[in-house]
Amino acid sequence: MTLNHDPALDAGSGLPEETLRELRAIGARYPQARSALLPMLHLVQSVEGRVTSRGIEACADILGISAAEVSGVATFYTMYKRRPVGDYHVGVCTNTLCAVMGGDEIFERLKDHLDVGNDETTDDGKVTLEHLECNAACDYAPVMMVNWEFMDNMTPQSATQLVDDLRAGTEVRSTRGARICTWREAERVLAGFPDDRADEGPAAGPASLVGLGIARERGWKAPEGRTAGTTSGTPGATAAAEQADTSRAESETKVEQSPTDTVGGKGDETSTGEGKKR
């Protein structure tokens, strides 16, 4: 599809020409170009370190919408930042379960250790600290994220070691195996430009699969679903259920043991071991 684009605005946008080409390429992926706004904003952050005014104007020009519409989206979702982010965005879950399991203590310890407040960056530009509402990983509480990679079963001690390693340039891996890249590199991936590391680390760990294990032991199965024009138990419904079982089984074979997911793992030094609405 043809996107709205005024070449005269490119020179005044301030963004590199390569970035503008990639922004237009993202827009061209969608039947409705404005659907591309979310990944486009991630690309802006990968280049600018935040959502800047010139990034907003460039997105608006390419998509043929107003800057106010772009700004409204950029200020609605917490993954889009209007202040510069450090090399590593460290998010500490302080929602109910993580909080009572130690998340509040971890967050307070990191604020003191880094000498920053919420949503602030250390003087060396390495770490931005933020409390997050929920990382959707309650089975590994208390949980942190570094550039959207999980750090499970954290303690105040392992959290401080983690940020020290990040600031020192030591290679750090998520407790699920993935190597921690910089925030800008992660933002580029979220914009839809793969870094060929999607298979680093398991998709889930044993704690996430406890329910599945219990169901298998007790022979529990989900009821057969109904599809259009069929009733439960008919060949169509049975085939759909079998297909779902096959897909699930294929997914489960990819699950591996998390390197730090052991009994008592909360005392391990985990640092050496993908958006939410407001």
Q: How does pLDDT run across 16-40, given as a tens digit for each residue?
A: 999 999 999 999 999 999 999 999 9
Q: Quick one: pLDDT at residue 256?
A: 45
pLDDT in tens, 223-267: 887 765 554 455 555 555 556 555 555 555 444 444 444 333 343
pLDDT at residue 168 is higher than 50: yes
Q: 118-126 contacts: CB < 8 A, separation 24 or more?
A: 119/83, 121/83, 121/84, 121/85, 121/86, 122/86, 122/167, 124/167, 125/84, 125/86, 125/87, 126/86, 126/87, 126/88, 126/166, 126/167
pLDDT band, very low/low/confident/very high, at 278 (cuts 50, 70, 90):
very low
Q: Where is pLDDT greater, at 7 or 79?
A: 79
> Residues 105, 261, 206, 159: what is their CA dihedral angle, to the nearest 10 degrees?
30
Q: Which of 21-35, 96-110, 138-152, 189-203 has the lowest mean pLDDT?
A: 189-203
Q: CA-to-CA distance for 250 and 211, rounded, in angstroms? A: 18
Mean pLDDT of all residues in 200-216: 83
Q: What does the alpha-carbon distance between residue 94 and residue 267 come to, in Å, rounded to a whole number?
A: 19
